[in-house]
């Protein structure tokens, strides 16, 4: 049996990851979050109420040292310049260091394409990073420190870089969630940007599969782009979303300026994740 610890287990990404992992044979799953939603608990998952920042109070209560830790917990991810990103940075690093000190041999951490900053074209694991938001700066700093320390401690490390996530939208703080709520409230139009920027969109359920496939193997390590590898304009993706969900609302293009740190076209190089998914036969 492989013992896997997941933080942020009831988060937007974590809830889907836990469901996928719970279906895997040969896995004993420990799911950590600050609050446990009893209505969404799964019978074959061991839930832990707590925070990664206070791991000293619960880590030693586990029956064994985890074989893998997947660190997904991160607050205010949709608010790119929230000060909590920088305030929490040292706690994230301290948690990862504690795991290594306790002998966890394999650690994976959720990253973001926003750690790259402004870039045009495909993002590879060697693309230079110059983040332009507090969220991106914090993620990039954690990535550099985590991979450096993991190399020193001889720990198998994966940095799972996410891109633009769709699916399970109504409760999310993404633009798709905002669009659904605006339509439900009876709004006829939705203030929008030019919609011309091209991004790499991936459904959260597919993202969960990519994450799980990545952590269940340890041949492919380092930065792994969890992505589709295909760019699509935001306007096209939103129009498709409106059609797929039979919404009555229409986009008011140009109501907001495009953000200065958003590239006209950026997507992930999916070479590594394709290798992983093929090997997993998914």
Per-residue pLDDT of 62-82, as tens digits, reads 999 999 999 999 999 989 999
Question: How many CB atoms within 10 Å of residue 244?
Answer: 8
Do both 111 and 84 map to the same domain? yes
pLDDT (0 to 100) of residue 171? 67
* Domain count across the chain: 2
123 and 180 in a common domain: no
pLDDT per position as a tens digit, 229-238: 999 999 999 9
Q: Answer whether residue 214 is part of any domain.
A: yes
**55 shares its domain with 181:** no
What percent of the chain stands above pLDDT 90? Answer: 91
* pLDDT, position 175: 87
Phi, psi of 145 (to 5 degrees): -70, -40
Return the pLDDT at 262: 77
Instruction: Return the minimum-mean-pLDDT range out of 100-104, 151-155, 173-177, 190-194.
Output: 173-177
In degrees rounded to 5, what are phi and psi of residue 24? -85, 125
> For the chain, percent helix, then strand, then coil, each to nearest 5?
35, 25, 40
Together in a domain, 272 and 176: no
Q: Based on the domain organization, do 118 and 182 belong to the same domain?
A: no
Share of the chain above pLDDT 70, in %: 99
How do residues 166-225 score in pLDDT, each as one tens digit?
887 676 778 898 999 999 999 999 999 999 999 999 999 999 999 999 999 999 999 999
Q: Which of 143, 54, 69 is nearest to 99 (CA)?
A: 69
Identify whether residues 13 and 105 lie together within a single domain. Answer: yes
Residue 277, C-beta contacts closer than 8 angstroms, at least 6 positions apart: 209, 210, 213
Just list the catalytic residues.
Answer: 135
pLDDT of residue 169: 65
Do 128 and 48 reside in the same domain of the chain?
yes
**pLDDT at residue 155 is higher than 90:** yes
Tokens of 205: 């359920």
Instruction: Extract long-range pairs of 18-23: CB within 8 Å, 24+ residues apart.
Output: 18/42, 18/45, 19/208, 20/208, 20/209, 20/211, 20/212, 21/212
Count the residues in the chain.
Answer: 282
pLDDT digits (tens, 9 = 90+) for 236-265: 999 999 999 999 999 999 999 987 777 899
Range of the domain at 7: 2-165+201-229+268-280
**Average per-residue pLDDT in the chain?**
95
Are 29 and 221 a contacting pair, CB within 8 Å?
Answer: no
Reported pTM? 0.94
């Amino acid at each position: 049996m492989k013992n896997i610890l997941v933080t942020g287990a009831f988060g937007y990404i974590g809830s889907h990851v836990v469901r996928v992992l719970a279906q895997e044979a040969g896995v004993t799953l420990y799911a950590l979050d600050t609050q446990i939603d009893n209505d969404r608990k799964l019978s074959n998952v061991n839930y832990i109420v707590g925070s990664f920042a206070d791991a000293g109070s619960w880590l030693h209560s586990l029956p064994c040292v985890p074989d893998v830790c997947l660190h997904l917990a991160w607050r205010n991810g949709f608010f790119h310049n929230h000060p909590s990103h920088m305030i929490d940075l040292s706690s994230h690093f301290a948690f990862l260091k504690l795991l290594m000190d306790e002998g966890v041999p394999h650690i994976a951490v959720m990253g973001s394409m926003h750690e790259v900053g402004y870039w045009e074209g495909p993002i590879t694991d060697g693309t230079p990073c110059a983040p332009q938001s507090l969220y991106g700066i914090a993620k990039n700093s954690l990535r550099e420190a985590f991979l450096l320390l993991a190399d020193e401690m001889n720990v198998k490390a994966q940095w799972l870089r996410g891109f633009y996530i769709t699916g399970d939208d109504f409760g999310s703080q993404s633009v798709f969630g905002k669009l659904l709520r605006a339509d439900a409230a009876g709004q006829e139009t939705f203030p929008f940007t030019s919609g011309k920027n091209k991004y790499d969109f991936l459904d959260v359920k597919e993202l969960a599969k990519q994450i799980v496939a990545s952590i269940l193997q340890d041949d492919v390590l380092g930065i792994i782009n969890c992505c589709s590898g295909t760019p699509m304009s935001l306007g096209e993706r939103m129009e498709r979303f409106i059609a797929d969900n039979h919404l009555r609302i229409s986009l008011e293009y140009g109501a907001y300026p495009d953000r200065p740190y958003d590239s006209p076209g950026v997507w992930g190089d999916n070479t590594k994740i394709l290798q992983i998914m093929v090997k997993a036969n998914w």
